[in-house]
């Protein structure tokens, strides 16, 4: 296992880590940096539980080698809440009952966050497309769609995006 120094922006902070660049970004985040909000589901890019934002795009962190984060920006679910104040997406997921077992929620929220960065008034089809790579075993897709629509409205009323 060869290690190298990787510098990148994580949740708004510049960090440097000394790690094996071939491990997954998921392993780096969870095992080496202690950010356990990003979940491992399938480990094969099929479930979306490990979704993070890499340079503004939702990606499956289990498929991204840690070395690909070098000189880039990574956002995890931990970046959304500000202290004890939840992000409107997180609030809406709770309010709309979109957090049944909660395992898929971080990935769903990050996929929705990426969408809301692009579109302040997403359609139902845009939402379904944005979360299409995220699986919910509790079948809460309708509540998830309602939560994203609600969060978009809250953000619009506040004059904010994603």
- Residue 106 pLDDT exceeds 80: yes
**Mean of pLDDT over the chain:** 95
Domain boundaries, the chain: 4-78, 88-158
In the chain, what's the furthest Cα-to-Cα distance?
50
Per residue in 107-159, pLDDT (tens digit) is: 999 999 999 999 999 999 999 999 999 999 887 799 999 999 999 999 999 88
Same CATH topology for 4-78 and 88-158?
no
- How many other CB atoms sit within 10 Å of the CB of residue 86? 14
Neighbours of 13 (CB within 10 A): 8
**pLDDT, position 150:** 97
The rounded distance, in Å, linking the Cα atoms of 21 and 59 is 17
pTM of the model: 0.95
pLDDT above 70 coverage of the chain, percent: 99
pLDDT for 100: 87
How far is Cα 134 from Cα 114, in angstroms, rounded to an integer? 13
Q: How far is CA 142 from the centre of its chain?
A: 19
- The top-level CATH class assigned to 4-78 is alpha beta
Yes or no: say if 25 and 15 are a contact pair by the CB < 8 Å rule. Answer: no
The radius of gyration of the chain's CA atoms, rounded to the nearest angstrom, is: 15
Sign of the CA dihedral 71, 51, 96, 156? positive
What CATH fold (topology level) applies to the domain 88-158? DNA polymerase; domain 1 (1.10.150)
User: At 63, is the secondary structure helix, strand, or coil?
Assistant: coil
Distances (CA, A) of 127 to 17, 55, 123, 160: 35, 20, 6, 18
- The terminus-to-terminus CA distance of the chain in angstroms comes to 38
Give how far the C-alpha of residue 31 lies from the chain's centroid of Cα atoms, to the nearest Å. Answer: 17
Residue 10 tokens read as 């994580």
């Amino acid at each position: 296992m060869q290690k190298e120094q990787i510098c990148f922006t994580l949740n708004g902070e510049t960090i440097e880590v000394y790690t094996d660049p071939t491990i997954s970004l998921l392993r780096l985040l969870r095992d080496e940096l202690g950010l356990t909000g990003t979940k491992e589901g399938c480990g094969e890019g099929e479930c979306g539980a490990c979704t993070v934002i890499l340079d503004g795009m939702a990606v499956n962190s289990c498929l991204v080698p840690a070395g690909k984060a070098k000189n880039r920006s990574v956002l995890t679910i931990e970046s959304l809440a500000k202290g004890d104040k939840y992000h409107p997406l997180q609030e809406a997921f709770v309010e709309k009952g979109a957090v049944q077992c909660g395992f898929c929620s971080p990935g769903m929220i990050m996929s929705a966050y990426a969408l809301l960065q692009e579109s302040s008034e997403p359609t139902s089809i845009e939402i379904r497309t944005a979360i299409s790579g995220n699986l919910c075993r509790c079948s809460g897709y309708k509540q998830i769609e309602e939560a994203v629509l609600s969060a978009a409205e809250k953000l619009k009323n506040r004059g904010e995006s994603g």
